[in-house]
Amino acid sequence: MNHHFWNKAAICGIILALVSVFFMVLQAAMTPARWLNILFWIVKLAGTIGLLFYFMKEFGKGKETYVYSDAFKFGLAVSFCSSIIAASYYYLHVMFIFPDATTQFTNAMLMGFEQAGVTSEDFNIDKLIAHLPVILLISQFVWFNILGLLWSSLLANGARHKINTTPF
């Protein structure tokens, strides 16, 4: 049973991650206007939340009981699998596919340090920049998992089976 759970979560996680990856590539390749970026973000958010809810609901079909905790665990597993793939892609995205993104991010960070008055004597900026891709990978992985935790906890109540009880 546990084997089936993780296989299903991994497949759903791959599909969920592909939505995020698609929009990352779309935004990097097109460099759209600000309003279009916001629209893409809204569509991505609605798509990922809708897909997560669908996967959680679908996993419960055919089960006799499917309570909040079951739906939450499955949503969290899907989000975990998705975050592994999405964070790994993000690493490839900034390191190899669109390396200009790293340069822009690094320049913005250096400008922020400069405005804050941080110098190379105060902080080893070169060491930070050398480890930046790994820092981004880990931070994206944590961020995606936090989002998965939040959305799974919110969506699990709607995905569970309703229990018909009477007060008598």
Q: What is the pTM of this model?
A: 0.88
**Per-residue pLDDT tens for 66-112?**
999 999 999 999 999 999 999 999 999 988 998 887 788 888 888 88
- Token duo for residue 118: 């941080």
**Per-residue pLDDT tens for 150-159?**
999 999 999 9
**Per-residue pLDDT tens for 85-95?**
999 999 999 88
